[in-house]
Structure 1
Amino acid sequence: MWTGIEIDLALNCKVGAFKDSIFNGISINSKKICKGDLFIPIKGARFDGHNFVYEALKNGAYAALAERPYSKKLENVKKKLIFVDDTYKSLVKLAIFSRKRAKNSIIISITGSSGKTTLKEWLKEVLSNYYNTYANLGNLNNQIGVPLTLANMPLNTNVSVLEVGMNQPGEIARLTKIIKPNIAIITNIGSAHIGNFKTKKDIASEKSQIFKFLTKNDTAIIPKDDEYFKILKKQASKKSGNIFSFGKDKDSEFKIISYQKQQYPVFLINRNKIIVEFQCPDKKWEYNIAVILGVAQLLNLKLSQVAKKVLSLRPLKGRGMLNELTFNKTKFTLIDESYNSNPKSLEDSLNFLSQKQFVKRRKIIVIGDMLELGNRSKIFHQSVIPYLERLKPFSVITVGIFSKVIHDKLNKKISSFHFNSYENVYNKLIELISNHDLIMIKGSNSIELDKVCAELKKKKN
């Protein structure tokens, strides 16, 4: 919620008749506007939000920002406009103002090459049992999504969990300057978006910019098992006096010890032993749980109680949910990883299939293109082949342009098929599936393999 006076103070502009007004929220989407919102028209590569000001006002916006050159074009609704020099910069100013007025809130920021959305959602879910907790909606983690999220942060927020993404150098530093987190977390360093960087080391350096605006009293949490741990720690040490690591390494402060006979993970959180009776279908999730327990301890929560809250956590849509399905009396398991893919997350997913519980299961693997890998795309797609050949699945289906190299060079003893797009994948799967098969579907979101998963899920028991 915003008052007209706060808008005036944040933007240093003339709000005129809106000085005594109250705005319910900030929106950049004219179709999803809520009654009483302030609409901010953002100019992008494909669309200019100023073209949707009329629609936003018609759909319930109380007022809209507009850049001054548009005054004639929007003459008919001039009384509903607040003029500024730059609408995007105004959104950022509102985010900065919102962060300042939340000076008593704890702000947690998360970045990494994979796993950050799941960690963000899980942290929010667990901490919501103790605090008024707020987080980015969906994947609003970019140069527009993060300021928009902060601008809409409720006044009664105790803890905010903000995911920070990047595509280009400099993006994390710009967003972190706005967020000014109290706790900054890096999940891991992989090759996602490497098409815009020279090396993984450059990605590690960019991710470590999440520590740039920490103070000595703030906290950094970093992955001890990561090959770039030393780089991350060096960067964190420049700002923070409180650095904690997580992982299986013996020196981790938030340590994953082992699994007992019941397959329950055991954690040592700063020497406090915690057993979480949580069946992790994917062992990489234990890293997220280690971080959640570590953050809980930093917030002085009782770990034995938090461990019970963890039991309700489930995979996010398209990020590893196991689905038990039936088609024509044929029972099979679908692992839906269709939301996204990059070299590290694909490697993790294939390693997951090699676990003891799946050894005797016949496997069909659908691999869609991994995008934003630049001129090394072919190399990264080829690097999947050794994992597949060790796994020895019954069949591999590749989808897209870049993944064709997997189909072409895969050992011919493994049945494989290639499609340029997702449309024919479903029919091929139905043709191949036998009783008790294990099907994994993974690819970048724009390959649209989620549509294949949706069709298969219609066969649910």
Structure 2
Amino acid sequence: MNAPVAHPLLHHWPVMTRDALPLALWSAAEIAAACRGAASHDFQASGVEMDSRDVKPGDVFVALKGEAMDGHRFIDAAFAKGAVAAIVDRPVEYPHVLVSDTTQALHDLAHAARDRAVEAVRIAITGSVGKTGMKEAIFACLDRASRGAAHRSVRSYNNHVGVPLSLARLPARAKFGVFEMGMNHSGEIAPLAAHARPHVALITTIAPAHIENLGSLEAIADEKAQIFTGLVPGGVAIIPADSEWADRMIGHARACGAKIVTFGRAKGADVRLLDAIPAPGGGSLVTADLGDRRICYTIAEPGEHWIVNSLGVMAAVRAAGGDLASAGLALAEMGGLKGRGARHTLSVPGGTALLIDESYNANPASMRATLKALAATPATRRLAVLGAMKELGDFSDAFHRQLAEPIIEAGVTHVILVGPEMGALAEELGKVGSASLGKAPGFAHCEGPAEAIAALGQFGLTQGDAVLVKGSNSVGLGRLVSHFTDKAHSQG
């Protein structure tokens, strides 16, 4: 077998089975060396965790210190859950590695994991919409092709703590690592990219998420494009060709010396949509032009936004040296994520209803995309529970008010609005209802999820209904989803 070449983008790595990956992620000596610390005992750790509530047997617990919380307070809880050791800045009675600063130790461990995984192609993902979904899709594609030798950020671990933690969990013999990166303020993306040093960096799209803090879409595009500053020499920047800010992002990528790949519907996109038709089960059959070849594949996820998302996924898989045929199979099998498109069948009078869980996040672009997907969902009635969109600042009322049109276009018959920011939309729907002689949906405006649960109960769900639940995570609509899905499970 040939030895791995120096540039991973130009090489298809030999297949590695999951069984070949070591069970021990870190030894005490390796952690001590990486973090410039001292180990009290010899141990083998199979994982790394920073939240004592999430510790699993075999984990090393990193006792991080924040402004309001000190992880050292939870040492006992971590070991009660099965931790084998802790990384601490003061001696404790349990096996530990003593360091001067636990946050710096996490960064050091992340960099050590990155540097020792010499065969791993690292892919970084950011964008205003679709980061987690596309991260999971790229991971599924690469994991299938490498037979379990891919790694990715779990949940939405995409900030100044989550990215180093995800890197620290990267197995030494992994073939791929997929890392999500998010931001709320300017200056947050570049440090994350510096941690990961990706070979491939993808921007999903630019939309007015966090515009309260950034001030404009141009500033959002500029901040997202800082992901390219972390690229290794010769790395690939993947950019949405359909974005109004594509040229702006391309300029940033060129300044970083990146190879540029664009994707989308736009003429001239390197990965370009040729055709998409509905597929059985609600997904799409996609035909795309990759320049030197055409590919046809099925995506299980419904909605036009996922058609374009899949092009970005294919661009990333190809840039990383993954197998496109395996990627197509993975996309055909991929289902919705909790809070991000998971679909639940509810038992209701007369039969079943569909609940679409998009409760984890919301901004103007994703609201419009999911309402459009709801419109394409076969249903006798379409209902929506929509939570407030956060971090829109002075633009908040205007962006909420503008949702009236896509709600009506989606054929929504009943809508429940949750949160004070939704007052502007409630007012707009009231005006539309007065002027349209009944074309606007019936609606209720609620303070929080408890009232929304009651309101949806009053509207009632019947055979053939489809209900979309979407809002910013802080609104708490996950409670509503749990209420109705747990109820359906208990009845089943």
TM-score, normalised with respect to structure 1: 0.90
Q: CA deviation at 1:80?
A: 3.9
Residue 423 of structure 1: aligned partner: 450
Residue 296 of structure 1: aligned partner: 317
Q: CA deviation at 1:334?
A: 2.4
Structure 1, residues 266-305: CA drift from partner, whole Å, max 9, x if none? 1112242222134552111112221232233334555344
Change in Cα spacing, 1:319 to 1:26, as seen in structure 2 (3 Å) is: closer
User: What pairs with 1:104-143 in structure 2 (closer than 5 Å)?
Assistant: 104-131=119-146, 132-143=149-160
Instruction: Report the 3-state secondary structure (helix = DSSP H, G, I; strand = E; otherwise coil) of the residue aligned with 1:335.
Output: strand
Instruction: Report the 3-state secondary structure (helix = DSSP H, G, I; strand = E; otherwise coil) of the residue aligned with 1:440.
Output: strand
In 2, Cα distance between equivalents of 1:380 and 1:400: 14
Q: CA deviation at 1:404?
A: 2.0
Structure 1, residues 139-168: CA drift from partner, whole Å, max 9, x if none? 111111111111121112110111111122
Change in Cα spacing, 1:277 to 1:390, as seen in structure 2 (3 Å) is: closer
In 2, Cα distance between equivalents of 1:255 and 1:292: 12
Change in Cα spacing, 1:198 to 1:299, as seen in structure 2 (3 Å) is: closer
User: What pairs with 1:266-277 in structure 2 (closer than 5 Å)?
Assistant: 266-277=287-298
Of residues 324, 332, 338, the one that matches 1:317 is: 338
Residue 101 of structure 1: aligned partner: 116
Instruction: Report the 3-state secondary structure (helix = DSSP H, G, I; strand = E; otherwise coil) of the residue aligned with 1:129.
Output: helix
- Structure 1 unmatched ranges of 5 or more: none
Change in Cα spacing, 1:241 to 1:42, as seen in structure 2 (3 Å) is: closer
Residue 464 of structure 2: aligned partner: 436
Structure 1, residues 308-331: CA drift from partner, whole Å, max 9, x if none? 332111111222234443411154
Structure 1, residues 177-198: CA drift from partner, whole Å, max 9, x if none? 1100001011001111222211
Change in Cα spacing, 1:57 to 1:397, as seen in structure 2 (3 Å) is: closer
Residue 407 of structure 1: aligned partner: 426
Residue 16 of structure 2: aligned partner: none
Change in Cα spacing, 1:298 to 1:400, as seen in structure 2 (3 Å) is: same
Residue 366 of structure 1: aligned partner: 385
Which amino acid is the alignment partner of residue 54 of structure 2? K
Say if 1:126 and 1:309, in contact at 8 Å, map to a contact too.
yes
Residue 11 of structure 1: aligned partner: 35
Instruction: Report the 3-state secondary structure (helix = DSSP H, G, I; strand = E; otherwise coil) of the residue aligned with 2:251.
Output: helix
Q: Is 2:207 the counterpart of 1:180?
A: no
Residue 224 of structure 1: aligned partner: 241
Runs of 4+ in 1 over 6 A off after TM superposition: none
Change in Cα spacing, 1:26 to 1:334, as seen in structure 2 (3 Å) is: closer
Which range is displaced more, 436-445 or 107-116? 436-445
Instruction: Report the 3-state secondary structure (helix = DSSP H, G, I; strand = E; otherwise coil) of the residue aligned with 2:307.
Output: helix
Structure 1, residues 352-404: CA drift from partner, whole Å, max 9, x if none? 2344x65x843222111112223332222122123234445322210111112
Instruction: Report the 3-state secondary structure (helix = DSSP H, G, I; strand = E; otherwise coil) of the residue aligned with 1:181.
Output: coil
Q: CA deviation at 1:45?
A: 3.4
Q: CA deviation at 1:41?
A: 1.0
Q: Is 2:379 the counterpart of 1:351?
A: no
Say if 1:247 and 1:256, in contact at 8 Å, map to a contact too.
yes
Residue 158 of structure 1: aligned partner: 175
Q: Is 2:50 the counterpart of 1:28?
A: yes
Say if 2:355 and 2:467, in contact at 8 Å, map to a contact too.
yes
Instruction: Report the 3-state secondary structure (helix = DSSP H, G, I; strand = E; otherwise coil) of the residue aligned with 1:407.
Output: helix
Say if 2:32 and 2:39, in contact at 8 Å, map to a contact too.
no
Task: Tell me the matched-pair count.
Answer: 450
Change in Cα spacing, 1:252 to 1:65, as seen in structure 2 (3 Å) is: same
Residue 395 of structure 1: aligned partner: 414
Q: Is 2:285 the counterpart of 1:264?
A: yes
Change in Cα spacing, 1:125 to 1:409, as seen in structure 2 (3 Å) is: same
Q: CA deviation at 1:417?
A: 0.8
Change in Cα spacing, 1:301 to 1:38, as seen in structure 2 (3 Å) is: closer
Q: Is 2:76 the counterpart of 1:54?
A: yes
In 1, Cα distance between equivalents of 2:27 and 2:301: 46
In 2, Cα distance between equivalents of 1:226 and 1:434: 40
In 1, Cα distance between equivalents of 2:27 and 2:300: 47
Give percent identity, aligned residues only.
Answer: 30
In 2, Cα distance between equivalents of 1:87 and 1:384: 45
Which amino acid is the alignment partner of residue 376 of structure 1? F
Residue 446 of structure 1: aligned partner: 474
Which amino acid is the alignment partner of residue 371 of structure 2? L
In 1, Cα distance between equivalents of 2:325 and 2:48: 39
Q: CA deviation at 1:21?
A: 4.2
Q: CA deviation at 1:111?
A: 0.7
Change in Cα spacing, 1:112 to 1:254, as seen in structure 2 (3 Å) is: same
Change in Cα spacing, 1:370 to 1:45, as seen in structure 2 (3 Å) is: farther
Q: CA deviation at 1:36?
A: 4.4
Say if 2:198 and 2:232, in contact at 8 Å, map to a contact too.
no
Residue 302 of structure 2: aligned partner: 281
Of residues 402, 406, 410, the one that matches 1:383 is: 402
Change in Cα spacing, 1:283 to 1:391, as seen in structure 2 (3 Å) is: closer
Say if 1:219 and 1:240, in contact at 8 Å, map to a contact too.
no
In 2, Cα distance between equivalents of 1:95 and 1:103: 14
In 2, Cα distance between equivalents of 1:427 and 1:374: 29
In 1, Cα distance between equivalents of 2:26 and 2:352: 53
Say if 1:216 and 1:242, in contact at 8 Å, map to a contact too.
no
In 2, Cα distance between equivalents of 1:86 and 1:265: 50
User: Over the residues paired in the alignment, what is the CA RMSD in angstroms?
Assistant: 2.4
Change in Cα spacing, 1:306 to 1:321, as seen in structure 2 (3 Å) is: same
TM-score, normalised with respect to structure 2: 0.85
Q: CA deviation at 1:435?
A: 4.2
Q: CA deviation at 1:8?
A: 3.0
In 2, Cα distance between equivalents of 1:326 and 1:173: 47
Which range is displaced more, 230-239 or 425-434? 425-434
Say if 1:95 and 1:151, in contact at 8 Å, map to a contact too.
yes
Which amino acid is the alignment partner of residue 222 of structure 1? I
In 2, Cα distance between equivalents of 1:336 and 1:63: 37
Say if 1:220 and 1:240, in contact at 8 Å, map to a contact too.
no
